[in-house]
Every structure is written in structure tokens, then in C-alpha cells.
Structure 1
Amino acid sequence: MDPDKNRPEAISGSMWRLAASAFVVLAAEPCFVLVDTAVVGHLGSVPLGALGVGGTLVSLVAMLGVFLDYGATGRAARWFGAGRRGDAIDEGVAATFLALVLGVVAVGIGELLAGPLIRLLAGGAGPTARAAVTWFRVAVLGVPGMLVVLAGNGWMRGVQETRRPVQIVVLANVISAIASPVLVYPLRFGLVGSAIANLGAQVIGGVLFLLILRAERRPWAPRMNVVRAQLRTGGNLFARAVGFQVAALVAVSVAARMGTAKLGAFQVGLECWAFELVV
């Protein structure tokens, strides 16, 4: 073992790199959503309100997948610290497997129940609800990629690989932030253009993390004991995420019943608050 790695300066440097990586990854999504909100906001109150309702449902899935990120980090870090990098990568394989399975299930449920869920949140079947359903049906297709990104961030932080996750997340969100106004306005996709840009970011990010995992040359078939252990580890994180999202869903539902303009204002305020919370 290299004794220099145990020096306080080295430990401090590692902590700063890990913290900076986590910060950039966490801040990238709120930054993109702020841009997306600004773009859609110029379409009017109905599209903005629809983005608020549909985006909240997509965020629900993302938050429920947070255990893939932080659960994989802790488990991979323990193996990596013990000098067993292969076992640490196996945690990444298991987390990615769970991400794909849960993502496919989420897409199926989301497409099947999009209408009822949106109408429940929006308080009826008005123009905002119809626009939200259209946006959500496209955006939810990106959930598997979104969860793969969360899993990838988790296991790569666990093996102290901090640069590439940041590069991937920033690249995907920058491309999406550029594509969103182009799709919405010059190409005249309107609100759906925002969903396509969102979907593109998740697909790009997910594919890049899969390519990195493939380059590790570990078996693609997950070890089921590792999968079960990750599910047990993620139980508390899952419960915590559910609590946050229930509060957000109730708030969106209340705002929707106060009118389209107020729902749009809530969406702007919520995303500004989310950005401030991360930064």
C-alpha cells in the first residue's frame, strides 16, 4: 500500500474530488431543468403548467432510483478500499442491471397509466392535463437511461473515478439544453420538443455509462446475491425518496387546482428553489 495515500493532504484531496464530482452531477440536472423551464415558459401558461405536472412525475421516478446512486457508491467503495476492484465493478454491474429492469418497468407503467395519473395530479382532463400527458409519454422513455446514469455515478464514485461521470453528465445536459430551444421553436415541435431533448440527454448519458462499464471487462450477468444486497441497502434511501416525492406531488396537485397560471408560477418557483438547494 502506498503510504502517501494515507497522508492528510492526500485524503483531503480525495474528499474534495469526490465532493466536487457529486456537486457537479447534482447541479447539472437542475441547471438543465431551469433552461427547459425558461424555454417552455415562452410558449404560455398551459405548456408551462404541463411541464410542471409531467416533469414532477418523471422526477418521482428519478428520486426513487436514488438508491442506485448512493447505495452503489457505499458498497463499491468498501470493495475498492479493500483492494478488490473487480468486486467493486460487480456492484456497478448489479446496479446497472437493476437500473435497466426498473427503468423498463417504469416505462411500461408510465405509458399505461399516464392519462389517469396526470388527470389525478392536474385535477381534471383540461388542456393542461392533455399537454402534460403528451409530454410525459415521450419523456418517460428516457427513464432507463436516467437510472443507468444514477447507477453509473454511484459505482464510479465508489472506485474514485470522478472525472468521467462529470464529463458525461455535463455533456448530455449541455446537448439537451442546446437542443431544447431548437426543437421547441425553429423546428416547431413545441412542448414535445422539450420532452425529446430530455429523452436525448438520458439516452446519451445512459449509453456512455454502459460503454464505460463494458470496458471494465467484467461479466455482464449480475451476481444475484449482490443485487439482493443492493436492494436491502437501498431500502432506507427508497423510503426517504418516497417521502420527498409525496410532498412534491401534493404541492403540484394543489397548485394545479388553483389554476393554470398558478401552476406555471409554481413550476418556475419550484425549479429555482431546487437549483438553490443544490448550489
Structure 2
Amino acid sequence: MNKEILRLAIPNIISNISVPMLTLVDVALMGHLASAQDLGAIAVGGTVFNVLYWGFGFLRMSTTGMTAQATGADDRSESIAMLEMALQVALVSGIALIVVQPILSMVGFGLMQASDEVEHLARQYFRIRILAAPATLMLHAFHGWFLGMQNARTPMILVILINLCNIVLNLILVAGLQMKVEGVALVSGIALIVVQPILSMVGFGL
């Protein structure tokens, strides 16, 4: 019993740090390459995103619960239906976040109270990275679904893949091409989008 709990818990813990880890990688790289203002912008923008996506934790948890019920009943079709529903909610929610991004930006950065220069750069970061909101929330949905299927290893592997992709692209676009804040935001979005086809193939058995 304890081994079974650990088998699910340890990969789940690693998977849960996926979005914050992207921000940490960005901050670490910018700390070596950019100005204090650029670094501050990534830190401020990353904090806004972490808080924003934390509010969508229900998407992962509810998907886990409903999928676990279907899995316990050995109902594969119902499990797939739960995944489809979760992905639809994630997609619609992500698009909604993009649409209302001016309001989110105003509220988020208003609360952070950064300097004018840092806030200007952070808003640039926000405007680019928010475009990956659907992919980010879909990752939450996939994570919850895999956990409900008692498969914690697959999302853990994909989280590692996302962060490796993030590191490589950061080295190319930020360190190599000197894109700074906009490059970091672009890389974070690309890293999340890249894994979506893999998740779909594994989840739907394509």
C-alpha cells in the first residue's frame, strides 16, 4: 500500500512544479545575461502567471476525481469523455484569458507595484506568454486525467521534457539571439505547446 502511494505521489509532486519551474528557469538565465530591470520583469510577470494559473487548480483536481471514478468502474469510454470535457473547458478558459488579458494585466501589475520600467517590460512578457494560456490549462487537464488513470509517471516525464525544451530554447533565443524578455516569454509558450501533440497521442491512444 505504501509503495503504491509513493508510486503516485512522488511523480505527482514533481509534475506539480511544472509552471513555477518554467519561471525559475527563465529567472535563472536572465540573472546571468540581462539587466536588473529585465530580471525583475520576468520575476514579476512570472509571479502573476503563477497566481493566475493556481486559480485553475480545480481543473486538474476535478478531472482527477471524475476520471478515477470511471477508471474504478473500468469504463474506458467514460474516462475518455472526461478527458475531452476537461480539454474543452481548458481551451475555452485559455481563450477567455487571452481575451480579458488587458484586465488581468491591469489588476495583476497594479497589485505588484513594480517600477515603471520593470512594469513595462513585465507587460511585454505577459502579452506574449498569455497566448500559451490554452496550452497551459490543457496541460493541467491532462495532468489531472493521467493521475485519475493512476498514471503519474507520464505527466512527470512530460514536465521534465517541457523544462528541457525550455532550457534549450532559452539558450538559443535568449543567450544566442539576445531576445531578452520577449524571447523568454516566447520560449515558455513554445515549450508548453510542443508537448500537446504528445499528450494527445498518449491520452487518446493515437
TM-score (ref. length: structure 1): 0.67
| Amino acid in structure 1 at the alignment position of 2:37 | V
What is the CA deviation profile of residues 181-214 of structure 1, one whole-angstrom value per residue up to 9, with x for unaligned ones?
3311211101111111110121123332233334
| Amino acid in structure 2 at the alignment position of 1:140 | I
Alpha-carbon separation, structure 1, partners of 2:133 and 2:201: 18
Alpha-carbon separation, structure 2, partners of 1:190 and 1:165: 29
Q: Which residue of 2 aligns with 1:138?
A: 128
What is the CA deviation profile of residues 71-113 of structure 1, one whole-angstrom value per residue up to 9, with x for unaligned ones?
1111111121122222122111111110001001011111x33
Q: Which residue of 1 aligns with 2:66?
A: 75
- Secondary structure of the 1:161 match is coil
- Closer, same or farther: CA 27–119 of 1 in aligned 2, 3 Å: closer
2:62 paired with 1:62: no
- Closer, same or farther: CA 86–189 of 1 in aligned 2, 3 Å: same
- Closer, same or farther: CA 148–50 of 1 in aligned 2, 3 Å: same
| Amino acid in structure 1 at the alignment position of 2:137 | L
1:52 to 22, 26, 43: 43
- Closer, same or farther: CA 124–47 of 1 in aligned 2, 3 Å: closer
| Amino acid in structure 2 at the alignment position of 1:71 | S
Q: CA deviation at 1:151?
A: 0.4
- Closer, same or farther: CA 182–113 of 1 in aligned 2, 3 Å: same
Alpha-carbon separation, structure 2, partners of 1:27 and 1:119: 23
Q: Does the Cα contact within 8 Å between 1:99 and 1:144 map onto a contact in 2?
A: yes
Q: Which residue of 2 aligns with 1:239?
A: none
Q: Which residue of 1 aligns with 2:15?
A: 25
2:3 paired with 1:13: yes
- Number of equivalent positions: 205
Q: Does the Cα contact within 8 Å between 1:73 and 1:154 map onto a contact in 2?
A: yes
Q: Does the Cα contact within 8 Å between 2:19 and 2:50 map onto a contact in 1?
A: no
2:88 paired with 1:90: no
Q: Which residue of 2 aligns with 1:203?
A: 193
Q: Which residue of 2 aligns with 1:4?
A: none
Structure with the greater alpha carbon radius of gyration? 1
Q: Does the Cα contact within 8 Å between 2:90 and 2:138 map onto a contact in 1?
A: yes
Q: Which residue of 2 aligns with 1:168?
A: 158
Q: CA deviation at 1:124?
A: 7.1
Q: Which residue of 2 aligns with 1:35?
A: 25
Q: CA deviation at 1:61?
A: 2.6
Pairing 1:227-238 to 2, within 5 Å after superposition: none
Q: Does the Cα contact within 8 Å between 2:23 and 2:43 map onto a contact in 1?
A: no
Q: CA deviation at 1:169?
A: 1.6
5+ residue gaps, structure 1 = 1-10, 217-279
Alpha-carbon separation, structure 2, partners of 1:159 and 1:118: 35
Q: Does the Cα contact within 8 Å between 1:146 and 1:205 map onto a contact in 2?
A: no
Identity %: 26
